[in-house]
Structure 1
């Protein structure tokens, strides 16, 4: 970015000139930002942020961030000058934070991956020009029908892939045409339909299970020693009969990996691309060898130098997709499987953009490819989590349903103003390929599970320190609330509390908490550390009485304490962590599963929460809380899955008289979303809510009512 000092120059040394041809006296970017941020503050104080105020808020945040980076690295500045400019930028940042606390919807614009609007881009150019910065002309945008590929810092093409492309002419794109009935959109032409389609799942009525009609299962050839359950064979039969898009949302533990591999075999969808989290790459290769041994699988590691370019199944993890997205899009895949598909719920993230780019490329090059999205928890916080998955499958694009879905909606004869539209629309989306089965319905031989909360008292110095820190946070929140209450011009008060103001104060605390002595994140980590020895002690007792036990934690230091405790007790254990190589990870899993003397496996929630089969145990300990019910459920389903023959108990270790008790209630309250949207449950749908924010809201509300 061009330097933004008092005298700005163009790259060729010529100074920027005004319209009369005289040199412009550039004032620098900081004064421009200072005026703009005051305008934003005034606009939000008068009313909620208008689109123009939001654009200016985002622009100021972007330019302030860029200017801070420039100031820190500008060798032309001495330390005093640098400190002065950083101080002025801190003042701008403080006003931004206070403004966001008044209207919390602005917080989303501060995210690193927030989409920058056209208005913000144009305003950014205007502010740079006003500051005296030479701004290069914007490049012409690409044509709408030819979207630009997602940028990547480093692209590679493995040599074996080059060899395969040259040696296999049958991998050329299928540019055949297929007869498609053009949708008659007279009735729905002027309607915005994506919102109503999503809303139709929120409005699901009791008993409306989200599963397409599946054919009667036929005999599926599987290797000796393996067998499919009926629900698995049904999906394979659907692929064999020609269905090609599936949102496979079976509850965790019902064998989605086997279904996907056998569906690809039934559809002859080779070569097949499989995109997975890093921790399950090796597991997918093992499952492919087990279920479809005639189709070789290869795993991309790093730059892909060791892959077999002639394999039928190519497995890649999200984390390295950026460097391989180019050649993957050109290889000629006939099918694509997305494991843990909820990983792409944030459409603006680079991960999601790469996945969507690949699926679009496959659809344009292949007639009716097999596209499968696998996730036992497709909804984490909000019904909007469906949007990216539907787009990956080709059911919708950015603005409208696909031609096939639109035609199905037209056939209903209804519009969103008709009472019957929402159940009819939901049914049409399900027919596109939503497949959801629950354990209780299809695997009656899987025993029940329960979550048991084990409350512990933190009566030592650590416990007293944690409670003191909580009181400090509450006092800070109350003080800010009272100050804001005195200054506010108007507001709605219920039961003596301005609840809108409470949420703004809580949002401000959350966003600014990194600068405070204590915050909700740090307290949760301290609580985990304080509970670690107690949780490990209880796990040791379980191991002595019931046999094998799974121990889950979020933080490495909690895992370290647990392993030290087990070693002192003479209890053999293995460990699954995120920093392990695939071979070490698999060796540790095998040790727990196969060695009767290994009583405990210590697992990271992030590294072992998906793609691991630990059903040899029926008891597990959750030493630390997740921030979502979905993460907790994924962990429990490492044990509660097909093949389990004992009742499963998950022991949640909860610190009494701490914020953990509130967080447990909030997490449990959010469990109803997927149940209602997918399973037709009557559980109340909890709208998207940030658990950290809701925790602070609860703390402040409790303090004000006590």
Structure 2
């Protein structure tokens, strides 16, 4: 009798049934030895060895069914074929070559600690395992070493801690794991679950909740903003700015509502147009309308804002247009420096003449009446020149932070990117939840709530020239000096020269009482200094004109490096001063007398023209402005006139308007009668 070898497939393995020809008896080892022929010797020895290795615990072993593992299929078939009694139509299997892939198994939830495994198609083995083979075949040591090199280059280092072999600093985990996933590595968490880079963002109970496979895949700055609860990172909604960078990550799955919010904060996508109410008496430029849209978007979502457009772009008009949309019985509180309160009254009267729910106060008033205002509820709170609360420990800043309003808006044209304490203090008022003091983390959180446009960004919307009047409220001390002098004027029988002398002195007091021998500092120069510094901080160039050279000298004391030009400057020096202003970026400020610097100069490098005191003739002032705005000027020029409220300066402006003559027709004082001049002094 002889032995037959019947084969069939079982996946990649092979089932061998050894049968005695003409018999169905069960074959044991001694039976096989008795029946086997010389031609069976190699095949039987090979199959018996395999069968015995997988059945060591059985006392009696049958050889009717033997399972040959994939690694030995080819050799088994070749040996059985030699017997000439191989039965079965299964083709000879060519064992595929070994392949290996890296497998990183994390040992903690942060992803800092890990072990490196090698994943073969026949099984897995730890990289540090000294076994030379896997499933009877030689490991691909060269490829394995390459994978470890990749792991080390990605950011992990060899470091034995407990049962782990590799360590990655926490600040590098995210970058490292994302890189490994991107190049096809398998990564498993501590529970051996496969890891992907996908993060889920959704809202739960007013919080923004982030979930991901492990903490290590979250940016360190994002983790610093939130609190971990289990495997979820929870942030306050006001901190959504911290996760806006995730918008560019295709692996992040956003809840639809939060996605709309994040996209709106990031790029304005989905922000609806919010036109002013019909009661608003003005026309907005395109970029100003976008500012109103942005404010409305933040208001609808319950956020506050810092409107930080460059000086001259119309922050006030944007705020008033936005406020016109608010249908509420609650008042709107506007806090501004004392010198600017009249400006606000004037702008409200111009753009919202029928609105009566505004409360205008100074920062001093706020500080002195802190308790009264902190107990009130406001629909909106506006802080103009909000750098007034840049120091969080001051009483003014603390009083502001106690105010309650549905939306709070800070207005400031001063860039604050490199002044972390000033940023923090203002946002502590706007969003008390944002308590982060780390400047990089804070910037990321607050960026969506700051709108800052520079002239260049909105140039297409701007006219060639923008002219404004800055109405300045005198301090009580300055007002006392002014009224004392005015009441001492005797007009009985006064000649025109005496009247002009009195007018001159009042105009000088409006500029600065020090021009008439007082030690009181004028309100105008305080505002001018603030405006000049703001412009220079933005790398802008500024012209400052005054009719009084003594006033220019006072201004010069504040800006000792300023260029200077009056009638006493020689022609050669005059040309050099102009050249420096036009060409030297380190010469941003030029002080000029109105007569000497108002004609014949090319000063097109200027961005701002500040007219410190008014002249009778608007044409003379326009000539001064046109030194900056001439052929060749490709940018908008902002011109600002500084006028004191309730003084002779305001009366001069009114009188010029009443005369109903163009500025070109009024040549200095020739358009004003003696009676006109007397009227100015009453």
* TM-score greater than 0.5 by the shorter chain: no
- The structure whose RCO (Cα within 8 Å, separation 6+) is larger is 1
Give the alignment's TM-score, normalised by structure 1: 0.33
Q: Which has the higher strand share?
A: 2
Give the alignment's TM-score, normalised by structure 2: 0.34
Q: Which has the higher helix share?
A: 1
